[in-house]
Structure 1
Amino acid sequence: MIAETTLRPARSTGSDFAQLSKKIADSGLMGRRPGYYTVRISAVITLYAGGWAAFVLVGAQWWTLAVAGVLAVAFGQVALVTHDIAHRQVFRLRRPSEMSGRIAGNAGIGMGFGWWQDKHTRHHANPNHEQLDPDVVPDLLVWTQNQAGAARGLPRLIGRSQAYLFFPLLTLEGFYLHVAGVRALTNRSLKRRITEGTLLFGHFAVYLTALLLVLPPGMALAFVAVHQGLFGLYLGSIFAPNHKGMPILTGEDRPDFLRRQVLTSRNVHGGWFTDIALGGLNYQIEHHLFPSMPSPNLRKAQVVVRRHCEELGVAYLETSLAASYRQALRSLHRAGAPLRRSTALS
């Protein structure tokens, strides 16, 4: 939980974000970047298609597991492009955004676009809020000691050692995305359910057919394990540094929009390779403040946002990738403390 003194601003905060938003608008950083996205999407399509071409060329030999690693990266990059599309960074209008998002997400990587977009929208509205952010709802892991105290079943068992199990569990993230997307099809409130389901099951059918046509069953199973496991690990490693280990809000903790986004987010510094590998989400603070800002503009926006936060006395955190993982794992270890104590007492 964020301390009360942190939540209480030094002066009236009604115009803090408005002032920042004007600075960003005046700088032109909200403008679309069609050239950038044309190049980026073309590169991702090339990587994706090249990975599948290599899969066919290598054929039924164990070197195909190396191709599975390449395709895991390709799937991760498709997921990052889908993320930008969902935020209307690529297309300004809703219809082309949703259409291309479903093609990339459902058909491209087997991720239910409608389910994920709804979940991600709720996360952006209330990041790291224990009751309102679906990303910190206890599932396999517990994120606070209060959640640990109420944990039952598998979360209670895993929570004792969850910091050590975190990265191994990320290998299941790809499978979870597939299952969650299929389960969401039973929800009548999901828009375009037939389209979503057709594209989703179409992906699964083509994926499994390709594997079984090229590989014997045992090798195909190994390919799925390596490909989906590394895909999940890559995705989890991208998203874990953003909020894990940052303050968690609860109950009536409702700071203003600027503080709600900045104080619960963490940036990761690095060069061009970090920007590509993390898809611009290493500028998580700027992304949460301006989610429709094209990702290549986030680096320039960082200068404006950091200076504005310094003027307001709002803490702005940026670390290395390794330090972000350490902070996330320490937080997970602290959250599981009540479960370890209960085990020791019993």
Structure 2
Amino acid sequence: MAITDVAQYAHLSNADMEALGAELDLIRREVEESLGANDAAYIRRTIAFQRTLEAAARLLLATSRSTAGWLVGTAALACAKSVENMEISHNVGHGQWDWMNDPEIHSTTWEWDMAGLSSQWRYSHNFRHHVFTNVIDMDDDLGFGVMRMTRDQPWEPRYLLQPLRNVLLAIGFEWGIALHGVHAAHARADTEPAKKAQSRAVITKIGRQMVKDYLVFPALSRSRWRRTLSANVAANVARNLWAYVVIFCGHFPDGAQKFSAASLENESKPDWYLRQMLGTANFNAGPLLAFASGNLCYQIEHHLFPDLPSNRYAAIATRVRALCEEFDLPYTTGSLLNQYLQTIRTIHRLALPDRFLTDTPAADAAESRRRIRSRTWVRRTPAPEVVPAAATNPACGRAVETVLG
């Protein structure tokens, strides 16, 4: 079921692949050349809005005595945390605003309001995930190590708990990301002292977050500390749930394809582009929902150009969708609810052993909706120690360059 030759799967000739790569390179080049004051003003305005919203929420929580005041204050705090996480920190961490040369708004200096370390996340996410998107045994985000998201992953008894693990991951998403990041950091470290240093670093960060949210702010509320503590817990959980929904809807609904490790062999830049287009999914959103999701409703465009500013994705999406029509490629999108329900269906189905899953085309659609075209499939193969050539090409998002900062 995993794809081994992305160009052959899409029925694109060598000339088609070169043409597709050239068109996407052109989009990148034109956006980069047009970046300027309006884009810089956008991110600064967004940061100012987020900080003002958080301050107003905390002020309301501190001064209001009513239940309605707590609900409004908590909702506002959750929104502020979501904007900080999705539209600011995630995108700053990708290096989308590094071109401004602002020491505050830079991928190497920004630390997000989450339990995990930004530096560890940049490696696990910018490199392991964005370079090897949906490649089995190489993309650590494919099920986050606790869930089976394709039948190419052999079933194990532990997957029977997958529906429950999914719920726990959603509620504690920031903790899952923290563990995910330190695990990737450990795998990358070549000595035991280096691994211990990474563990100490994330423990220190977790300590700072716990003290800030669950000690300092409640203490400042004096006799109302319980009110503030409960608001912080609720806002963090709401932020976790929203981030989880957005991320899962961009990677696991029907139509988001999976790839064998063999697909990386001799992978060119156009191959890398095409793999991103086939392996990700969008959801329909207006300006407000797009902003709330960090513009990750445009997950296809984000994976094509992860280091281009998020405020440009809506315009880029129009051009990418036109290219998909021109080259007869799928452009996977749908409502947020529809994409999430498809993802939940996959999570629950793949919790079962393969003998309980039917092999009809209709049943396959529950895991990944497939276009009715001839294609080549391969069985799961061991992951080679290989970095695709496209990964180190600046036109593919500079994923490697922004890992370490």
Give yes or no for TM over 0.5: yes
Q: 1:147 aligns with which of 136, 142, 153?
A: 153
CA contact (8 A) 1:123 1:134 kept: yes
Specify the SS of the correspondent of 2:51.
helix
Q: 1:111 aligns with which of 102, 111, 116?
A: 116
Residue in 1 that maps onto 2:13: 10
Residue in 2 that maps onto 1:86: 93
1:265 Cα shift?
Answer: 1.0
Q: How many residues align?
A: 332
Residue in 1 that maps onto 2:262: 252
CA contact (8 A) 1:242 1:281 kept: yes
Deviates more, 1:39-48 or 1:312-321: 312-321
Q: Deviations over 1:177-234 (max 9, x none)?
A: 4555677887627999988766553332222223542367866664454233212101
CA contact (8 A) 1:2 1:249 kept: yes
Within 5 A, what are the aligned runs for 1:69-218?
69-80=75-86, 81-92=88-99, 93=101, 96=104, 97-102=106-111, 105=112, 108-121=113-126, 122-137=128-143, 139-147=145-153, 149=155, 151-152=156-157, 155-159=158-162, 162=163, 166-167=166-167, 169-178=169-178, 188=194, 200-213=206-219, 214=221
CA contact (8 A) 2:133 2:139 kept: yes
Q: 1:304 aligns with which of 313, 319, 323?
A: 319
CA shift in 2, pair 1:315/1:61, >3 Å: closer
1:248 Cα shift?
Answer: 1.4
Structure 1 distance, partners of 2:296, 2:33, is: 16
Structure 1 distance, partners of 2:83, 2:197, is: 25
Q: 1:232 aligns with which of 219, 235, 240?
A: 240
CA shift in 2, pair 1:191/1:274, >3 Å: farther
Whichever residue aligns with residue 249 of structure 1, its letter is F
Q: Deviations over 1:95-138 (max 9, x none)?
A: 65135422xx1xx3433101111111121111111211111145
Specify the SS of the correspondent of 1:267.
coil
The two structures have a TM-score, normalised by structure 2, of 0.70
Q: 1:243 aligns with which of 218, 241, 251?
A: 251
Structure 1 distance, partners of 2:250, 2:209, is: 29
Q: Deviations over 1:128-151 (max 9, x none)?
A: 1121111114533221234351x2
Whichever residue aligns with residue 114 of structure 1, its letter is S
Structure 2 distance, partners of 1:60, 1:148, is: 53
CA shift in 2, pair 1:140/1:66, >3 Å: farther
1:270 Cα shift?
Answer: 2.2
Structure 2 distance, partners of 1:168, 1:194, is: 25
Which sections of structure 2, spanning at least 5 residues, go unmatched? 358-405
Structure 1 distance, partners of 2:287, 2:214, is: 35
Q: Deviations over 1:130-176 (max 9, x none)?
A: 21111114533221234351x24xx42313xx2x8745641121333
CA shift in 2, pair 1:94/1:111, >3 Å: farther
Whichever residue aligns with residue 86 of structure 1, its letter is G
Structure 1 distance, partners of 2:290, 2:18, is: 33
CA contact (8 A) 1:112 1:178 kept: yes
Q: Percent identity?
A: 21
The two structures have a TM-score, normalised by structure 1, of 0.81
CA RMSD of aligned residues (A): 3.5
Whichever residue aligns with residue 87 of structure 1, its letter is H
Within 5 A, what are the aligned runs for 1:259-298?
259-298=274-313
1:336 Cα shift?
Answer: 2.2
1:243 Cα shift?
Answer: 0.9
Which sections of structure 1, spanning at least 5 residues, go unmatched? none
Specify the SS of the correspondent of 2:136.
coil
By percentage of residues, which structure has more helix? Answer: 1
